[in-house]
Amino acid sequence: MELCCITGYGKRVRREKGLIVIDPPHPEKEHVKKVLLSPEGLGLVLISGDHDLTTSAIRSLLQKGTELVLLDRYGSPEGYLLPVGKSPVIEHAERQQNVPGSRCLAIAREIVGQAIRNKAVLMRSVMKNRQDGMPDCSRLLDTLEGKARSAGSRSELFGIEGTATRHYYAGLCAVIPPSFGFYGRNRNPPRDPVNALLSYGYGILYGVIRTALVKARLSPFYGVYHAEYRHQEPLVYDFIEEFRQPVVDRVVVTMIHRRQVSSETFTVSPGGCRIPDDLKKLYTHAVLERLEACYQYDGKTVTFREIIDAQARLLANALLEGSYYRPFANR
C-alpha cells in the first residue's frame, strides 16, 4: 500500500487518463512540476492545507479502495472519506462492544507497558553518547513498565502511564537545545517548535494507524484503554501508543540533532506554533520515509508500515478471539 501526503496550499488534484494529477499552485513556474500518481495500490492520501480536489479524482481514489484523511494545520485529523467496501468493520463493532473488561485490561496493560519500554529504548539511544552527566531516565521507565504490566485497573494504569510520560518528556527536554523552548508536552495548539513537530507527525501516524485497524476489520470507536474518548476514536489512540517513539519521536530528535530544523524558522503566536511550509514538506517526507524504513520483525525484513498492519491483525485476534497480544517492541 502506497501513501501520499499533500501539503502546502493551492494545489489542484484531478483525474486525467486514469491517473491522479497534482498540479502546483503556480504551474507557470518552470521549476515546479506536476505530480502524476496511479490510484492502483494507493491506500492512503493525507491532505494538509487548502487545496482543490475534483469529484472525479475523489471518485477514482475511492473506487480503488483509497482512504482520504483531512488534517488541520497542526496535523490533527478533521475527517475521513472511506470507500463503501470498508463496511465489514461494522460487523465486528458489536463484538468489540461486548469484549470482556478483563480482556480489555489485559491488552491495555501490554500496550502501555510496551509503550513505556519503547520510551526507555529511545532515551537510552539518545543519551548513550552524551558526556555532560545528564541523568538517564530509562531505568525509572523500566521500573514503571513492570508496574504497568501488573496494574489492577485502568485508573491505576493511567496513573502509571502519566508518571512515565512526565519522566520521558523531562528526559527529552535534556537533549533538546534550549533555543527550542521545549519544557514538556503541550497541544491543542502546540506552543513550541518541538510540540508542533510532534503533533503534526502524530497526525500523519494517526492516519496510518486508523487505516491499519480498518483493514483488520476493527472499528476505531471501541477501545480497550482510552474508552472515555467517546466522541473520538479510542482504539486509534490505544494502538498508536506502540509507534509514537519509534516512528515520530525518533524523526524529530534526529532532525534536530542533525540541525535540519532551526527554532527560528517557526512562527510562534498566542494561537500556537506553526511549522513553515517548506519545513512541513521536509518533515512530512522524513516521517513517511521512516514508515518505509526496513526493520527486523518476526524473523523477516519489513517496513514499519507493514509492521503496523501486522500488529493490527494481531490486535484483532486478541480482541475478538481472546488470543494473547504482544505489542510492537522497538529495539
Q: What is the pLDDT of residues 287-322, one digit of tens each?
A: 999 999 999 998 999 999 999 999 999 999 999 999
Nearest one of 137, 160, 156 to 241, comparing CA atoms: 160
* pLDDT value for 229: 67
Distance CA 40, CA 17 (A): 13
* pLDDT value for 245: 96
Kindly report, residue by residue over 252-297, the tens digit of the pLDDT: 999 999 999 998 999 888 889 999 989 999 999 999 999 999 999 9
Give the max Cα distance, the chain: 63
- Assigned CATH class of 89-321: mainly alpha
Domain range annotation of the chain: 2-71, 89-321
**Percent of the chain residues topping a pLDDT of 90:** 55
Q: Which amino acid is at 161?
A: E
Please tell me which residue, 175 or 85, carries the higher pLDDT value.
Answer: 175
- Name the pTM for this structure: 0.81
User: Phi and psi dihedrals of 14, rounded to 5?
Assistant: -145, 170
C-alpha cell at 199: 503533533
Which superfamily, per CATH, for 2-71?
A: CRISPR-associated endonuclease Cas1, N-terminal domain (3.100.10.20)
Average pLDDT over residues 171-185: 91
Contact call for residues 272 and 73 (beta carbons, < 8 A): no
Average pLDDT over residues 81-88: 66
